[in-house]
Amino acid sequence: MPESTAQLIDGKVYAERLRASVAGQVAALKASNGLQPGLAVVLVGDDAASQIYVRSKGEQSLAAGMHSVTHRLPGDTTQAELERLVGELNVDPLIHGVLVQLPLPKPLDEKRVLALLNPDKDVDGLTVANAGRLASGLSALVPCTPMGCMILLRETVGDLAGKRAVVVGRSVLVGRPIAQLLLQADCTVTIAHSRTRDLPAVCREADILVAAVGRPRMIGADWIKPGAAVIDVGINRVPFDDPVKAAEGRTKVVGDVDFKAASQVAGWITPVPGGVGLMTVAVLLQNTVAAAKLQAGIA
């Protein structure tokens, strides 16, 4: 195979830059307004991946100088108990952002929990109010992973106006909000999904291809227009290619894009791990600062 032609989009670099900017904003808010942005993260149950994400959110918010509280609730927490906690956080003056880690264990109903969450504290951008504001082109708290993708695209591709963007996946957490953000950036946007006809041909039209389907290495080199920017949101656990390691039951994380093959064709590409995933928490911190300013009436 020839050497990779694509430029690697290193999420670590942009995430570090954003975290440094947030830490500066937090210090300035403390100095000028006596305001310390506060983030509350709620984790129900003991899902291994969620525990890692939640620990990272707590650590990074403290490192940025924020007030940070993590509520770890047992897996048998009732809907009423969870809703009571969200209700308390909604009115806690020290807390400006509330994040309920998803997925919730069964039989908890995440839609009912989100319906209770104060939209001004919805730093995940998952309430209907914030989704509606985003779709209406109004200022909103925007979901963190999609916003992280947009930062990476702006930093690498630059002006996105007029570009053809294809988003593969229509989830509430990623596909739909990133399509809205690309539209706001004046892209011509297609949302493709499991029922799209001739998905490879649709993807080949894309100057910007965002993969958010949760299917390991689904998108191959022949799905990609030469020179396109490829943003891989997938986080999929698969057995190691090495049969010895695979036989030991060892797994690794790969994206929705066949990275090695796609790198021969794309102009820019995010690795997995090391790409979009690193941006998510940094954007969460930025959203918490924005929420704190909103609640304090600071422009």
Q: Which residues are catalytic?
A: 57, 101, 124
Rounded to a whole number of angstroms, the CA Rg of the chain reads 20
User: Which structure tokens are listed for 285?
Assistant: 């911190």
Q: Of 269, 112, 255, 67, nearest to 174 (Cα)?
A: 255
Residues 151-190 that bind ligand GUN (CB under 6 A): 173
Q: Is 101 in the site for ligand GUN (CB under 6 A)?
A: yes
Q: Is 235 in the site for ligand GUN (CB under 6 A)?
A: no
Q: Is 124 in the site for ligand GUN (CB under 6 A)?
A: yes
Of residues 144, 151, 191, 292, which one binds ligand GUN by CB under 6 A? 144
Q: Which is nearer to ligand GUN, 263 or 270 (CB)?
A: 270
Q: Which is nearer to ligand GUN, 280 or 286 (CB)?
A: 280
Q: Is 99 in the site for ligand GUN (CB under 6 A)?
A: yes
Of residues 8, 23, 102, 246, which one binds ligand GUN by CB under 6 A? 102
Sequence-ordered alpha helix ranges (H) in the chain: 11-33, 48-63, 79-90, 110-116, 128-135, 144-156, 175-184, 199-204, 243-247, 259-262, 276-296
Q: Which is nearer to ligand GUN, 92 or 110 (CB)?
A: 110
Q: Which is nearer to ligand GUN, 121 or 225 (CB)?
A: 121
User: Which structure tokens are listed for 86?
Assistant: 């969200």
The phi-psi region of residue 6 (left if phi > 0; otherwise alpha if psi is between -120 and 50; otherwise beta) is beta
The residue number with the shortest CB distance to ligand GUN is 102
C-beta of residue 231 within 8 angstroms of C-beta of residue 152: yes
Q: Of 250, 230, 231, 228, nearest to 239 (Cα)?
A: 250
Q: Is 218 in the site for ligand GUN (CB under 6 A)?
A: no
CB of 219 to ligand GUN, least distance (A): 21
- Kindly provide the b/e burial profile for residues 74-98, where b requires at least 16 CB atoms within 10 angstroms of the residue's own CB: eeebeeeebbebbeebeeeeebbbb
The span of 71-79, 85-93, 98-106, 192-200 binding ligand GUN (CB under 6 A) equals: 98-106
Q: Is 145 in the site for ligand GUN (CB under 6 A)?
A: yes
Q: Which is nearer to ligand GUN, 265 or 282 (CB)?
A: 282
Sequence-ordered alpha helix ranges (H) in 64-137: 79-90, 110-116, 128-135
d(CA 93, CA 295) in angstroms, rounded, equals 9
d(CA 51, CA 43) in angstroms, rounded, equals 8
The span of 13-21, 94-102, 184-192, 216-224 binding ligand GUN (CB under 6 A) equals: 94-102
Q: Is 286 in the site for ligand GUN (CB under 6 A)?
A: no
CB of 49 to ligand GUN, least distance (A): 8
Residues in contact with ligand GUN by CB under 6 A are: 99-102, 124, 144-145, 173, 280
